């Protein structure tokens, strides 16, 4: 019933018409998972992502892709929705209705016209580029642009959204403690951050990877900064996407670790995570400026602290406006998501209204969703609960709904882990971003048909 | 609401500070009407006068109109299970709060055999999920007419009505709808849906049976025309369905229509579209793919529109991976951001503890507290539970933010005199507060044991660690 075609059809078409670049395809069967004890079957979308990577994906900004899509769509006879349908119906003169003493069933509808409310913001969100290609002194194959919005997220009927949210998958330099449903996807690469990063990009379609240098924590392995920097070099070698570098969260050690990492990544325009109010943010910013990187400004669920830290980065550390991204903290669905959502939504609206200390792209540590017991526990610890069902299905959807909710608050880059959650959220962003064609033939069929 | 300051309301009040409403002054009452924590009709003198005097009645009606919510409220069902939808004031929850949570109706259909219908209904009425101190439950049923047979449909509707939950009746055929209303109209079901094709018949049904009605149209000009027509014919209880398309540009179009409707109602105060909005995640079951694909996408569609303005929803899936995240998200989005979710700090006795039972500590963040309390209850563990005032912040953030500190723990131990109630000096702290172990020991002199990261694992932890090995 849907106007869609399968991957096979699609590949055949690409061959036939010699299409080189293509953006946003919808394929069938992209959400298969198996239950208890077995791995998620990702073959369907893996094929798509590797195809797209080879063809030169990530052309969100390129008109070229649109042109090809239009060409292709005219061949296939599928409508393009790019020109937003302005209601063209001519308003019939509003009939003057005689109000009868007793309401009766009128012969005709009283015609009314719906004029959308106009909403325009004076401000905009800064556009921040992550990664640098050879042309800009780096070695990345492509860059990822964050931000640039002039309206609320996905309100493309107000203003076009230049960059849809990007997804970075987490990579750790030591075996992390992960929920089982997540762990199964990375078991073969734990211990090798380079291989891990490759898997994220090639197999799971990550736009970027975040390498977390957790082992540098003095309470753990206390890996020296210089050694941790080698891991960064390995990852930069292994993958050609933009990367994000995270410390261990130790406020004394992180500035040194990030400084060293910034040095070895010179020219690659990585994002350094993170500058916080209780670290030596000045030192992290100096390293970012010296080696051409972006800084993540991280505060804990407090818009005023976020504003203060951003002000320090701008005024005291003289960070360029195009080199700051904010992490106002992500709390999981059911565990404070309301705080995280509203905090981010307020920050985003303030930015759009012209607050120049808050108009930066937003990052979310969506992997936090896995801390929710509903995501990972085998069954409910609460006696009266209706049984929770298989956790293999609960976990990914917990990460999806956490990310989806925050995307509606304004998040521009998601740090995630479960491959299925990554794939579904990408589909959501492309859909709400207006980049997925088609739909179902009769959206009212569920009213009368068995489903 | 139209009024923006308490003074505008105050001028309508008796200004006698009689306190019958429960507030000290008329001004205080006025400000509570403004933030909707009090109702105009709580002013007894005003109501009494209105009963006697037509001028006073006019005044009361004027005040009710001025303080009516921006989005109309519609009640579905009767009695204690009735639910109210709509009644919203703002576009973003931090601007005030969202009021009536999205109502969730679950699919049953009349071509299903009776046994299966009962099974589905049982699952809906027996559903429970513990969260922040109480059990979340499901709101009602969406009874679909898939047989196109009025007799069968009425039979099934009657059966489902017996479960006592609010219902949405779903049939485009007016004959089927009439047959169903004949058996259950007094239970005030929401009827779905009047369309361009059947609106005359549905308008008659809505008027004859005095039931709320959903208007369904993808074209917002048509949808508004339907609303204006129904309203002028005397139908007050209207719900708008701008058609949920489950995929691709259709779903982006749905997103646009829902937002445009609500923005028009709130920003431009267009009363002709200021009605509750219906979204139907069940439409996800029209896409191709297996059941997991469809149910995941159903949860995704629901998620988008729980955040963005849906007041009622129809679901097909009863699987936990759809129900649990959507119920939880609804709770989160509709939590009043003006009131911190916290419980009183102090000492709680769980399952009548003895002087030999363990002492544990948690925060006064309501979610954390009720989770811990319930886990202990479910695991049948006797314990003394210290509740630390972290200003409603959870363990992890309060440890990081300096609201969960050794000195505050010491104060709490002293205030609650817990040392007089137990024979030992062992304190079990949450796994997420592990880094405070040493400092609490230094500060209090108690031996600190680090408990599990999640209190759901307290039972296993106790088996291994309690009583402590000397």
pLDDT digits (tens, 9 = 90+) for A288-308: 999 999 999 999 888 999 999
pLDDT given for residue A34 in this prediction: 32
pLDDT band at residue A45, thresholds of 50, 70 and 90? very low
- Shortest Cα distance from A416 to chain B (angstroms)? 17
For A187, the 3-state DSSP assignment is: coil
For A436, the 3-state DSSP assignment is: coil
- How many other C-beta atoms lie within 10 A of the C-beta of residue B331? 20
Distance CA B221, CA A399 (A): 38
Give the β-pairing of B426-429 and A144-147: unpaired
Spatial CA neighbour of B261 closest among B67, B28, B86: B86
- Shortest Cα distance from B331 to chain A (angstroms)? 8
Indicate the class that CATH gives domain B6-66.
mainly alpha
Beta strands (DSSP E) in B242-345 are: 278-279, 312-315
pLDDT band at residue A88, thresholds of 50, 70 and 90? very low
DSSP character for A315? I
- Shortest Cα distance from B103 to chain A (angstroms)? 18
Asked if B324 is an interface residue toward chain A (Cβ–Cβ < 8 A), one would say yes
pLDDT given for residue B378 in this prediction: 86
Question: Contact at 8 Å (CB) between A250 and A217?
Answer: yes
Question: Contact at 8 Å (CB) between B90 and A346?
Answer: no
pLDDT given for residue A207 in this prediction: 98
Residue B303 has pLDDT above 80, yes or no: yes
pLDDT band at residue A9, thresholds of 50, 70 and 90? low
Distance of CA A237 to the CA centre of its chain: 24
Judge: B322–A397 Cβ closer than 8 Å, yes or no. yes
Give the mean pLDDT of A330-351: 95
pLDDT band at residue B397, thresholds of 50, 70 and 90? confident
Residue A79 has pLDDT above 70, yes or no: no
pLDDT band at residue A103, thresholds of 50, 70 and 90? low
pLDDT given for residue B466 in this prediction: 93
Residue with tokens 């508004």: B224
Residues of B in contact with A119 (CB under 8 A): 263, 267
Close Cβ partners of B377 (under 8 Å, ≥ 6 residues apart): A383, B350, B351
Cα–Cα distances in angstroms (integers) from residue B182 to residues B176, B209, B239, B299, in the given order: 10, 8, 21, 34
322-341 of A, contacting B, C-beta below 8 A: 333-338, 341
Distance CA A350, CA B95 (A): 13
| Domain limits, CATH 3.40.50.11600, in chain B | 346-465
Judge: B300–A424 Cβ closer than 8 Å, yes or no. yes
Token code pair at residue B330: 């609804």
In terms of DSSP H, where are the helices of A6-89? 7-17, 43-55, 63-76
pLDDT digits (tens, 9 = 90+) for B76-98: 999 999 999 999 999 999 999 99
Spatial CA neighbour of A82 closest among A54, A63, A104, A98: A63
Burial A287-310 (b: 16+ CB within 10 A, else e): bbbebbbbbbbbbbbbbebbbebb
Residue with tokens 């951001």: B337
- A236-240, A332-336, A421-425, B176-180: lowest mean pLDDT where? A332-336
Token code pair at residue B105: 């109706």
Question: Contact at 8 Å (CB) between B266 and B90?
Answer: yes
Asked if A36 is an interface residue toward chain B (Cβ–Cβ < 8 A), one would say no
- Best mutation target among B191, B271, B286, B431 (most A Cβ atoms within 10 Å) is B286
Asked if B321 is an interface residue toward chain A (Cβ–Cβ < 8 A), one would say yes
Residue A145 has pLDDT above 90, yes or no: yes
Distance CA B272, CA B215 (A): 12
- A23-27, A354-358, B6-10, B168-172: lowest mean pLDDT where? A23-27
pLDDT given for residue A2 in this prediction: 40
Give the mean pLDDT of A385-411: 97
In chain B, the residue whose alpha carbon lies closest to the alpha carbon of A345 is B92
Judge: B267–A106 Cβ closer than 8 Å, yes or no. no
Distance CA B199, CA B191 (A): 12
- How many other C-beta atoms lie within 10 A of the C-beta of residue B234? 12
Residue A93 has pLDDT above 50, yes or no: no
Give the mean pLDDT of A102-115: 90
DSSP string, A159-185: S--SS--EEEEEEESS-----HHHHTT
Judge: A400–B299 Cβ closer than 8 Å, yes or no. yes
Beta bridge partners of A243: A209
DSSP character for B261? H
Give the β-pairing of B103-109 and B312-315: parallel
Judge: B320–A431 Cβ closer than 8 Å, yes or no. no
Distance CA B73, CA B275 (A): 7
| Domain limits, CATH 1.10.15.40, in chain B | 6-66
112-151 of B, contacting A, C-beta below 8 A: 126-131, 135, 144-146, 148
- Which CATH entry fits the domain spanning B73-333: 3.40.50.460, 3.20.20.20, 3.30.1490.20, 3.30.70.1880? 3.20.20.20
Token code pair at residue A104: 């009766």
Spatial CA neighbour of B133 closest among B343, B429, B281: B343
Asked if B340 is an interface residue toward chain A (Cβ–Cβ < 8 A), one would say no
Give the mean pLDDT of B281-293: 97
Residue A32 has pLDDT above 50, yes or no: no
Burial tier of A371 (Cβ tally within 10 Å: 0-12, 13-18, 19+): middle
pLDDT given for residue A385 in this prediction: 95
Asked if B7 is an interface residue toward chain A (Cβ–Cβ < 8 A), one would say no
CB nearest to B92's CB, from A30, A117, A349: A349
- Shortest Cα distance from A443 to chain B (angstroms)? 5
Ranges A37-41, B60-64, B199-203, most confident: B199-203
Burial tier of A263 (Cβ tally within 10 Å: 0-12, 13-18, 19+): middle
**What CATH architecture applies to the domain A127-432?**
Alpha-Beta Barrel (3.20)
367-396 of A, contacting B, C-beta below 8 A: 373-374, 377, 380-390, 393-394, 396
> Percent of chain B beyond pLDDT 90?
89
Residue A78 has pLDDT above 70, yes or no: no
pLDDT digits (tens, 9 = 90+) for B122-154: 999 999 999 988 899 999 999 999 999 999 999
pLDDT given for residue A12 in this prediction: 53
Close Cβ partners of B231 (under 8 Å, ≥ 6 residues apart): B238, B272
Cα–Cα distances in angstroms (integers) from residue A150 to residues A157, A351, A360, B248, B286, in the given order: 11, 9, 12, 23, 34
Give the mean pLDDT of A422-448: 96
Distance CA A227, CA B115 (A): 66
Distance CA B228, CA B224 (A): 6
Spatial CA neighbour of B432 closest among B366, B364, B362: B362
List for chain B the helix, strand, coil content (%; round to 5): 50, 15, 35
Give the mean pLDDT of A177-192: 95
Distance CA A212, CA A222 (A): 14
Residue A25 has pLDDT above 70, yes or no: no
Distance of CA A218 to the CA centre of its chain: 32
Phi, psi (degrees; rounded to nearest 5) at B265: -70, -40
Distance CA A392, CA A396 (A): 7
| Domain limits, CATH 3.20.20.20, in chain B | 73-333
Cα–Cα distances in angstroms (integers) from residue B443 to residues A280, A407, A432, B96, B399, in the given order: 29, 44, 54, 42, 16
- Best mutation target among B261, B325, B328, B454 (most A Cβ atoms within 10 Å) is B325
Distance CA B189, CA A28 (A): 38
Judge: A300–B397 Cβ closer than 8 Å, yes or no. yes
pLDDT digits (tens, 9 = 90+) for A257-272: 999 999 999 999 999 9
Asked if B354 is an interface residue toward chain A (Cβ–Cβ < 8 A), one would say no
Distance CA B424, CA B356 (A): 7
- B1-10, B230-239, B241-250, B295-304: lowest mean pLDDT where? B1-10
pLDDT given for residue B102 in this prediction: 98
CB nearest to A345's CB, from B94, B111, B299: B94
| Domain limits, CATH 3.20.20.20, in chain A | 127-432
Distance CA A56, CA A133 (A): 14
Spatial CA neighbour of A129 closest among A361, A442, A435, A380: A361
Judge: B246–A439 Cβ closer than 8 Å, yes or no. yes
Question: Contact at 8 Å (CB) between A332 and A371?
Answer: yes
Distance CA A393, CA B251 (A): 24
Distance CA A331, CA A337 (A): 5
Token code pair at residue B297: 């996408």
Judge: B332–A442 Cβ closer than 8 Å, yes or no. no
In chain B, the residue whose alpha carbon lies closest to the alpha carbon of A99 is B232
Residues of B in contact with A113 (CB under 8 A): 221, 224
pLDDT given for residue A87 in this prediction: 39
Protein fold of B346-465: Rossmann fold (3.40.50)
In chain B, the residue whose alpha carbon lies closest to the alpha carbon of A90 is B221
Residue with tokens 């995929």: B247
pLDDT given for residue A40 in this prediction: 40
Distance CA A360, CA B185 (A): 54
Asked if B310 is an interface residue toward chain A (Cβ–Cβ < 8 A), one would say no
Cα–Cα distances in angstroms (integers) from residue B228 to residues A29, A105, A115, A223, B75, in the given order: 43, 13, 15, 70, 20
pLDDT digits (tens, 9 = 90+) for B315-354: 999 999 999 999 999 999 999 998 767 889 999 999 999 9
Burial tier of B1 (Cβ tally within 10 Å: 0-12, 13-18, 19+): middle
Burial A157-189 (b: 16+ CB within 10 A, else e): bbbebebbbbbbbbbbbbebebbebbebbbeeb
């Amino acid at each position: 019933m849907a106007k869609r075609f399968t991957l096979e059809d699609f590949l055949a078409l690409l061959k036939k018409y010699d299409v080189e670049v293509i953006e946003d395809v919808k394929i069938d069967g992209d959400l298969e998972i198996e239950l208890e004890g077995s791995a998620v079957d990702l073959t369907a979308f893996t094929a798509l992502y590797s195809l797209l990577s080879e063809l030169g994906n990530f052309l969100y900004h390129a008109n070229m892709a649109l042109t090809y899509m239009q060409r292709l769509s005219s061949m296939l006879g599928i409508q393009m929705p790019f020109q937003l349908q302005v209601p063209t119906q001519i308003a019939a003169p509003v009939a003057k209705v005689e109000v009868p003493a007793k309401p009766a069933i009128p012969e005709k509808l009283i015609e009314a016209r719906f004029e959308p409310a106009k909403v325009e913001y004076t401000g905009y969100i800064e556009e921040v580029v992550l990664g640098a290609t050879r042309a800009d002194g780096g070695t990345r194959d492509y860059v990822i642009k964050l931000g640039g919005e002039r309206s609320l997220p996905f309100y493309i009927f107000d203003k076009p959204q230049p960059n849809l949210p990007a997804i970075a998958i987490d990579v750790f330099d030591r075996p992390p403690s992960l929920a089982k449903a997540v762990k199964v996807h990375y078991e073969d690469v734990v211990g090798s951050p380079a291989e891990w990063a490759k898997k994220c990009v090639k197999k799971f379609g990550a736009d970027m990877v975040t390498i977390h240098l957790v082992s540098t924590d003095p309470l753990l392995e206390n890996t020296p900064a210089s050694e941790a920097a080698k891991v960064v070099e390995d990852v930069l070698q292994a993958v050609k996407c933009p990367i994000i570098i995270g410390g261990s969260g130790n406020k004394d050690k992180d500035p040194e670790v990030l400084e060293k990492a910034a040095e070895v990544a010179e020219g690659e325009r990585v994002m350094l995570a993170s500058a916080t109010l209780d670290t030596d943010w000045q030192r992290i910013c100096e390293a970012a400026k010296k080696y051409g990187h972006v800084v993540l400004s991280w505060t804990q669920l407090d818009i005023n602290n976020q504003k203060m830290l951003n002000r320090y980065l701008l005024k005291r550390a003289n960070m360029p406006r195009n080199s700051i991204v904010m992490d106002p903290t992500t709390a999981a669905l059911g565990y404070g998501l309301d705080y995280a959502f509203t905090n981010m939504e307020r920050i985003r609206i303030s930015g759009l209204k012209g607050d120049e200390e808050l108009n930066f792209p937003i990052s979310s540590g969506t992997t936090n969703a896995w801390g929710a017991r509903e995501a990972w526990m085998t069954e409910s610890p609460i006696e009266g609960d209706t049984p929770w069902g298989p956790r293999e299905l609960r976990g990914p959807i917990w990460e999806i709904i956490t990310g989806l909710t925050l995307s509606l608050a304004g998040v521009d880059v998601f740090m995630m882990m479960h491959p299925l959650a990554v794939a579904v959220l990408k589909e959501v962003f492309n859909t709400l971003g207006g980049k997925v064609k088609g739909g179902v033939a009769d959206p009212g069929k569920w009213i009368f048909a068995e489903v | 609401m139209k009024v923006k300051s308490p003074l505008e309301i105050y001028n309508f009040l008796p200004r006698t500070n009689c306190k019958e409403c429960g507030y000290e002054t008329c001004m205080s009452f006025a400000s509570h009407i403004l933030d909707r924590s009090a109702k105009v009709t709580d002013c007894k003198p005003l109501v009494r006068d209105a009963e006697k005097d037509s001028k006073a009645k006019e005044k009361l009606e004027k005040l009710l109109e001025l303080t009516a919510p921006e989005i109309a409220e519609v009640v579905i069902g009767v009695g204690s299970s009735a639910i109210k939808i709509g009644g919203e004031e703002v576009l973003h929850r931090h601007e005030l709060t969202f009021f009536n949570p999205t109502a969730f109706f679950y699919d049953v259909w009349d071509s299903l055999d009776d046994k299966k219908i009962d099974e589905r209904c049982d699952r809906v009425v027996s559903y429970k999920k513990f969260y922040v101190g109480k059990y979340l439950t499901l709101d009602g049923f969406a009874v679909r007419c898939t047989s196109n047979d009025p007799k069968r449909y009425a039979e099934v509707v009657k059966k489902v009505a017996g479960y006592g939950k609010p219902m949405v009746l779903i049939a485009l055929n007016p004959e089927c709808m009439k047959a169903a209303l004949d058996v259950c109209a007094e239970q005030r079901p929401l009827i779905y849906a009047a369309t361009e094709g059947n609106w005359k018949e549905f308008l008659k049904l809505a008027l004859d049976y005095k039931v709320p009605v959903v208007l369904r149209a993808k074209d917002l000009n048509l949808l508004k025309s339907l609303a204006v027509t129904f309203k002028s014919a005397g139908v007050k209880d209207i719900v708008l369905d701008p058609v949920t398309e489950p995929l691709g540009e259709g779903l982006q179009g749905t997103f646009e229509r829902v937002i445009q409707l609500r923005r028009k109602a709130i920003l431009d105060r267009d009363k002709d579209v200021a009605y509750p909005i219906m979204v139907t995640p069940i439409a996800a079951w029209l896409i191709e793919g297996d059941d997991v694909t469809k149910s995941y996408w159903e949860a995704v569609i629901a998620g988008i529109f729980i955040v963005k303005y849906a007041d009622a929803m129809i679901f097909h899936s009863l699987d936990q991976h759809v129900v649990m995240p959507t119920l939880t998200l609804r709770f989160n989005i509709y939590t009043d951001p003006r009131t911190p979710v916290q419980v009183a700090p102090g000492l709680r006795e769980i399952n009548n503890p003895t002087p030999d039972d363990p002492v544990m500590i948690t925060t006064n963040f309501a979610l954390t507290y009720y989770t811990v309390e319930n886990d202990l209850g479910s695991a049948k563990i006797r314990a003394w539970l210290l509740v630390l005032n972290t200003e409603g912040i959870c363990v992890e953030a309060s440890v990081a933010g300096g609201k969960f500190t050794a000195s505050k723990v010491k104060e709490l131990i002293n205030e609650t005199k817990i040392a007089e109630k137990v024979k030992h000096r062992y304190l079990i702290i949450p796994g997420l507060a592990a880094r405070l172990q040493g400092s609490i020991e230094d500060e209090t002199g108690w031996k600190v044991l680090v408990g599990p990261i999640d209190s759901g694992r307290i039972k296993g932890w106790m088996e291994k660690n309690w009583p402590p090995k000397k």
